[in-house]
Structure 1
Amino acid sequence: MRIPRNSVIAGVTASRVKKTIQSIGEQRAASTPELGSRLGLTEPKLSRTLLDLARQRFLVYSVHSQGQDWWTVGQGGLRLASARIGNPITRAQADRLLEGAVGAARAINADDRHAYLVERLAVFGSYLQRDADELGDLDVAVSITPKPNPPGRSLMREAKDRFSARSWSERVYAPYREVLQSFRAVGQSLSLHALEEIAALGCTYEGVYAYDGEAGRELDPAAVAWPDEQKALAIEPDPIIIPMSPACIAPRPAPPAPTDPDAGRPLRPPDRKGAPASQLDLTVQHQWVQGYPVSEIRQFHASGLDAWTDDRLRACIANLYDAQ
């Protein structure tokens, strides 16, 4: 899946939404202030944007806890997280990439420095639509297996020894990753997948390269066995849960703007580059937008807000409403 460069999703660049979705995947769920820090948004635009992303199934509303809304990744978000951001390619470019992938497979199989061999190579996706002149990318499925050892040699041990300076876990997987890297060097528009997984998902594919490691020779792709395409599983779409959170449907207006410019200074500096404010500032503003009084917002943060007066908190909140 490839998304055109400069695409916009819910008013935010697709690349920024993708990075935000990927950050949720690592921790399984994220609060509205955390997402605001990554998307570069403050309330009330922040919660409305998240609601828009939920309606498009990029996000799923999870729960309201500790004065904050929490979100998980939807099916659209999973697809976006694995998508490539870039311009489409022509069929001629895809043909050249496929030639390069087959060439990479032959080079890997002929080089005893590699501990793995490429047993099968197939194409699937938009490349099989013969009337399509523009493709998102070239989807290639590959089956990789350990090479037979020549007499008196252990190709796997030799390959691991080349990475002796790395940690034990890196050495274990380095020979496999080395093979994958050879394919990725063919071009950024080549999207690599495991053949067995593609078959299990029911994807239609076409074999383009086959190799017999024991005999050490190429085979006719049309004359060898390939993994059977399984019946694709029916996946129910994510339910679109419209949160009854005030931040999403009826955000509370900003408090009066401070008359003293210094009163609205941030509580803390931003935690990361590109963030509109610190996590603390965004959380306090989000809780205000939900309708919580300042006294209750203080309770959510225990003693973390004792250094600031109520007027200072309101002033900070008011200033964030302008940070759009």
Structure 2
Amino acid sequence: MRIAKDDQVAGYPAIKIRNYLRPITDIYIGAMGSVENVEDELGISNSDARALVKQLLAEGYIEIAHMNGLFKLTAKGKRFSLATARKPIKKKTADNLLSDFIKRVEHANSQGTFAYTIEKVIVFGSYLDDEVNRINDLDIAVDLVHKGNSVEDRLRIDQERIISAIKNKRIFSSSLEQLTWPYIEVVRHLKNGSRSISLHTTDDRIFAMPQTRSRTIYVRT
């Protein structure tokens, strides 16, 4: 999905709303939004934030997820949060991105230092359309499985990864980032800073939609 710089959503610049919604869909944080959060992040008054949330609810971008007013993205909101204002990339470029991605998957699994293994990689979306010469993003879904066999094992492995990051001078932006770092680091390794890769999990609602074409390109052996 592409958006233009002058597009608007609920009376606000579309890119500004997309940038706010994007972290809510993050595969390693799974955060939820709130009126107060909208107010702080967009720098608007409480009344304006409430009006914006109401409009986003009415237009189907978000849905209430908790009694205290927290909201999460709908499938429509998820698609919008992943929209890009960048120019499309060539299929050949996407081919190279995918090839390099699989190399990083194999490296991560063979290295054995991450808290998660990548069990499966699935490509989906417009990349699979042979008649399309350019695509907005390379959509990839991954099945990440924690190496710990018990709660105690998972906590121990996670703590080891966090301690390792701290020793390597990693500065966490929040306690939430530190807590989820074992997941974050493998995701960042896989994306390798590419803004043209849209990374999802295999249980993502967009990926699971019946009309979504997909192809499994890697299974860990």
- Considering the TM-score relative to the shorter chain, is it more than 0.5? yes
Paired AA for residue 181 in structure 2: A
- The answer as to whether partners of 1:101 and 1:183 remain within 8 angstroms in 2 is yes
2:220 to 205, 208, 211: 211
1:127/1:59 CA distance change after superposition, 3 Å: same
Mind listing any 5+ residue stretches in structure 2 that lack a counterpart? 25-31, 64-70
- The aligned residue for residue 27 of structure 2 is none
Q: List per-residue Cα deviations over 1:71-117 (Å, max 9, x = no partner).
A: x8885445323434422111111111111110110110121322322
- The aligned residue for residue 292 of structure 1 is none
Q: Find the structure with the greater CA-based Rg.
A: 1
- The answer as to whether partners of 2:3 and 2:83 remain within 8 angstroms in 1 is no
Task: Find the aligned partners of 2:53 and 2:181 in 1 and give their Cα distance.
Answer: 39
1:182/1:73 CA distance change after superposition, 3 Å: closer
Mind listing any 5+ residue stretches in structure 1 that lack a counterpart? 61-71, 213-324
Partner of 1:196: helix, strand, or coil?
coil
- The aligned residue for residue 125 of structure 1 is 125
Task: Find the aligned partners of 1:162 and 1:117 in 2 and give their Cα distance.
Answer: 18
182-191 or 8-17, which moves further after superposition? Answer: 8-17
- The answer as to whether partners of 2:120 and 2:142 remain within 8 angstroms in 1 is yes
- The aligned residue for residue 161 of structure 2 is 159
1:59/1:95 CA distance change after superposition, 3 Å: same
- The answer as to whether partners of 1:120 and 1:142 remain within 8 angstroms in 2 is yes
Q: How many Å apart are 1:194 and its aligned residue?
A: 0.8
- The aligned residue for residue 183 of structure 2 is 176
Identity %: 24
Partner of 1:141: helix, strand, or coil?
strand
Q: How many Å apart are 1:197 and its aligned residue?
A: 3.2
Task: Find the aligned partners of 1:99 and 1:207 in 2 and give their Cα distance.
Answer: 14
Paired AA for residue 204 in structure 1: R
Partner of 1:197: helix, strand, or coil?
coil
Paired AA for residue 159 in structure 1: R
- Could you state the TM-score of these two structures normalised by the residue count of structure 2? 0.63
- The answer as to whether partners of 1:121 and 1:209 remain within 8 angstroms in 2 is yes
1:23/1:159 CA distance change after superposition, 3 Å: closer
Paired AA for residue 142 in structure 1: V
Paired AA for residue 163 in structure 2: D
1:14/1:192 CA distance change after superposition, 3 Å: same
Paired AA for residue 106 in structure 1: E
- Could you state the TM-score of these two structures normalised by the residue count of structure 1? 0.45
Matches within 5 A, 1:48-87: 76-87=76-87
1:186/1:97 CA distance change after superposition, 3 Å: farther
1:196 aligned to 2:192? no
Report how many residues are paired.
Answer: 185
- The answer as to whether partners of 2:33 and 2:72 remain within 8 angstroms in 1 is no
* Aligned-residue CA RMSD (Å): 4.3
Q: How many Å apart are 1:130 and its aligned residue?
A: 1.2
Matches within 5 A, 1:286-297: none
- The answer as to whether partners of 1:127 and 1:139 remain within 8 angstroms in 2 is yes
Q: List per-residue Cα deviations over 1:10-47 (Å, max 9, x = no partner).
A: 675321232466799611x58xxx69x7589xx9xxx9
